[in-house]
Structure 1
């Protein structure tokens, strides 16, 4: 195993996670004022609505699929009655469908941000980078699922990537598990960790700003000033 593999599959993931955690803490403490999505809805609404809807409809099942595929061991799936054939169908067709939906939504949002002059002026460099990186990540994931899996049907990422990923959290990284992984999967994994490092310094932080306080906030009551109305 060479130093490049050691860096890519051991040092780089931990470095990205460390930046993700420390960056969020730093920004929350010292830059809460800019903890916002900086909405451009008042400039253009139609493409934003369509693109955002498609992206959010697609990304939630995609994330859940990643959690299941990477976090749940293959043996556990088999014990639950989900054999390799059934899992492959779910990953290919269900995962592929939602991957396409996510990709379509991200394409619309990115094209909107780049081609609409007023929105482009409102956007920062990090906004453009994040959009392009998300398009690239989703594309590589979709390509790996729909193309690479068909070209190399003998490859099972649950026997390589999934084990490597879980071992990262156990602080027992095994870079050797990733050496035989197809290059498209490698690019998808590395770009996924890269966006973790970008996350705290971009508008992606607004994901954590769930407005739970609105549920317990008091109503704002407006009462008519009858005395003043009577005088007029």
Structure 2
């Protein structure tokens, strides 16, 4: 068990982090022009619009919630007046709402990619893998948040997962902290690192291609060709 814990909660996370960093550097240096995602909007628009709106509406608050829960110690939350009950309400109900929106969006987007033959023909293997993996990660997150927390209300991931996670970045992870973590949370954590390892080799890199140079522009210049 000790060796397995070392492998799952130290080796795997660090390998995924290294692949994420080195993979992005390699991809940018060798194939940066493929970073933007191919659009399938011209093939089917309605499901894409609904799925994308739900996914992006939910994923940003979900990410922010993960950042707060994993990076901010429990004692700090108490210092700022956020007790355990208030945090639990926010994590379960607010987090559950945005998590559900993210899940519904992923279900629509994944179904669209697999069931519409024209969209599937445009998809690569990495596109299909990313969709399925993201859907599974979001599903496990929702399952852990709503069902595992209901069955094991005494479990507080801020006393186990969060401390282990911060230990990774301080180069002193304690794998024993993950020993008593429910399986649903363990799977969610491992698949989360897996998507980071897969990230540089998929279209997920397009999230780094936000055209920030357009922010702040108050006009768009159109040119009209004059006929002779």
Distance (whole Å) between structure 2 residues aligned to residue 170 and residue 51 of structure 1: 37
Cα 1:82/1:219, change in 2 over 3 Å? closer
Distance (whole Å) between structure 2 residues aligned to residue 192 and residue 126 of structure 1: 16
What do residues 98-142 of structure 1 show as CA deviations (whole Å, max 9, x unaligned)? 111000000000000000000000000110000000000000000
Does residue 169 of structure 1 match 2:169? yes
- Structure 1 length as normaliser, TM-score? 0.94
Runs of 4+ in 1 over 2 A off after TM superposition: 213-226
Which aligned pairs between 1:191-230 and structure 2 lie closer than 5 A? Answer: 191-215=191-215, 220=221, 222=223, 225=226, 228=228
Q: CA deviation at 1:2?
A: 1.8
- Structure 2 length as normaliser, TM-score? 0.96
Unaligned runs of 5+ in 2: none
| Counterpart for residue 89 of structure 2 | 89
Cα 1:151/1:214, change in 2 over 3 Å? same
Provide the aligned C-alpha RMSD in A.
1.5
| Counterpart for residue 49 of structure 1 | 49
Cα 1:5/1:224, change in 2 over 3 Å? closer
Which aligned pairs between 1:83-232 and structure 2 lie closer than 5 A? Answer: 83-215=83-215, 220=221, 222=223, 225=226, 228=228
Unaligned runs of 5+ in 1: none
| Counterpart for residue 3 of structure 1 | 3
| Counterpart for residue 59 of structure 2 | 59
Which aligned pairs between 1:10-29 and structure 2 lie closer than 5 A? Answer: 10-29=10-29
Higher Cα Rg: structure 1 or 2?
1
What do residues 10-55 of structure 1 show as CA deviations (whole Å, max 9, x unaligned)? 0100000000000000000101121121110000000000000000
What secondary structure is seen at the aligned counterpart in 1 of 2:136? helix
Query: How many residue pairs align between the two structures?
Result: 227
What secondary structure is seen at the aligned counterpart in 1 of 2:6? helix
